[in-house]
Amino acid sequence: ARPVRHEDVAAQVYAALDRTPDSHWTLDGREVPTVPRGVLLDMDGTLVDTEPLWLETSRAVAAAHGHHLTEQEGAAVLGRTCADTAVGL
């Protein structure tokens, strides 16, 4: 299996937003400054809570492969990478 690349994820985000990617992969289309004025590290839930989306996606992928994701399995995949989740299931 091919590793997940951030470019692929960004392209999917753009497609979901019906946007055309720009050369710097910013969602608002503005260029990224050469030297950032600051860096924000987001722990899940600080700005956006993606847990429900991750669980929904994990359930859908598992179902597509004939597996029902239990609550216990769902809890086990939270915070894991795509590769770790696939191995765990």
**63 and 86 belong to one structural domain:** yes
Mean pLDDT for all residues in the chain: 75
Please state the pTM of the whole predicted model: 0.49
Structural domain boundaries, residue 7: 1-37
The pair of three-digit structure tokens given for residue 81, joined into one six-digit string: 């990478």
Same domain, 11 and 47: no
pLDDT at 39 over 60: yes
pLDDT band at residue 68 under the 50/70/90 scheme: very high
- The conformation of residue 70, written as its DSSP 8-state character, comes to P
Rounded distance, CA 17 to CA 26, Å?
A: 12
- Calculate mean pLDDT across residues 29-49: 69
What is the domain count for the chain? 2
Does residue 30 surpass a pLDDT of 80?
A: no
**Given a cut of 80, is residue 60 above it in pLDDT?**
yes
Statement to judge: residues 9 and 48 lie in one domain: no
| 56 shares its domain with 33 | no
Q: Is the pLDDT of residue 32 over 80?
A: no
Do 32 and 47 share a structural domain? no
